[in-house]
Structure 1
């Protein structure tokens, strides 16, 4: 994927440091059950000065996982402590935000287009002023695609 293809995707639905994620829809739009109805088709792209990795139009993220990230970010923003995580069942993408000192948040990103052959891990840092943007992005995704049929 080159930068022209990225531009064609438009604005990312979720941005966390070098990670950009676009939601294309549900993997199984007609499924109404919890397990099949909550998979998303996504493109994820992580770019840093010396590397770039993408997962293109794959179903590696679930809506309940995004809801967990949202909940964790809301708690962290109100207390400036703790963690927020995007804990995916599939091994292709992981995000961990950990409150540090002086309002700083340590960020760990893991992305792999093929978990049998390669994994890319990044560490970064943001401050708490970035949390409202992440929270609003998660809310917008979950409003457009509500979690179906809780467990």
Structure 2
């Protein structure tokens, strides 16, 4: 199950593969998901497997929904392990300015920082893709 962030000459694909600890009863363990990240920007192609959390994805999509409804604001995807940080902020023209940072291996590996722009018309698709992922991989339990 994939979601995409697209911009001029920028392609980010995050494919959520499976739960890391599907039989755990611990909130923190059971919400880890293995994901494959693929990023293409001018001069770089990055592809690696990263552990994300369903609550991180849920927080991100909720912020995107607010930004889409209000046609302003900011949405951030913060990854606990530090593999990926993405922030999108909508300007007054409806353009979203994205900043992103990847680190692989997480915490001590190579770091890639980049920015790109996209049109707000992509938000509906991103929201739908994330909602579909969260149906298949819902946040389980409470912290």
Give TM-score scaled by structure 1 length.
0.87
> Matched residue of 2:110: which SS?
coil
The one-character-per-residue Cα deviations of 1:114-151 (angstroms, maximum 9, x if unpaired) are 24131001100111100001100110010001101022
> Matched residue of 1:112: which SS?
strand
CA–CA separation in structure 1 for the residues paired with 2:137 and 2:120: 26
User: Which residue matches 1:67?
Assistant: 58
Shift of 1:71: 0.5
Structure 1 unaligned blocks of 5 or more? 1-11
Structure 1's consecutive aligned runs of 4 or more residues displaced over 6 angstroms after TM superposition are none
Report how many aligned residue pairs link the two structures. Answer: 138
- Residue 132 (1) aligns with residue 121 (2): no
- Greater strand share, structure number: 2
What are the residue-to-residue correspondences of 1:1-151 with 2, within 5 Å? 13-17=2-6, 18-56=11-49, 58-59=50-51, 61-114=52-105, 115-151=107-143
Structure 2 unaligned blocks of 5 or more? none
Give TM-score scaled by structure 2 length.
0.91
> Matched residue of 1:120: which SS?
strand
The one-character-per-residue Cα deviations of 1:39-94 (angstroms, maximum 9, x if unpaired) are 001110111120011222x32x1000000110110000000111111111111111
